[in-house]
Amino acid sequence: MQVYGVVGVDTHRDTLAAAAVSALGAVLAHTDATTDQRGYRDLLAFARKNIPGDRCWALEGTRSYGAGLAVFLDVAGERVVEVCRPKLPPQVEAARPTRSMPCAPPVRPWPLKI
């Protein structure tokens, strides 16, 4: 299915940074939200305002900081995909104190609507 845009979300412990991007790649708007139900509702309203048609959400960290938002969006009937962090050059990756886990599809512990 074709989408009119994508909402990309960078997830953190206390905040979510989101950008609405058109199908042509133009940044339409950006916002920040809290990682609670109110912040999730604010992000959904932001997406509906900036990409009123079919859209997709690209979330980083659906198994950690983005898990709550992923569940919220799925229940709201939104399309969600996990995005991976870009691979760093070996010398940069070796200098990092921790290794990130490989990207995986979102965990769906909730019932799926069929």
Query: Over 60: is that where the pLDDT of 48 sits?
Result: yes
What gap in Å lies between CA 55 and CA 43, rounded to an integer? Answer: 13
| Residue 90 pLDDT exceeds 80 | no
Q: What is the pLDDT of residue 49?
A: 98
Identify any residues that bridge with 18 across adjacent strands, giving them in sequence order.
9, 31
pTM score: 0.74
pLDDT digits (tens, 9 = 90+) for 56-78: 999 988 888 999 999 999 999 99
CATH no. for 5-95: 3.30.420.140
Structure token digits, residue 76: 């709201």
What are the C-alpha distances in Å from 46 to residues 11, 40, 52, 70, 88?
A: 16, 10, 10, 16, 31
The residues spanned by each domain of the chain are 5-95
> Which of 96, 99, 70, 98 has the alpha carbon at shortest distance from 83?
70
The percent of residues in the chain predicted with pLDDT above 70, rounded, is: 75
SS3 of residue 32 by DSSP = strand
- Residue 44, helix vs strand vs coil: helix
Residues 16-32: pLDDT tens digits? Answer: 999 999 999 999 999 99
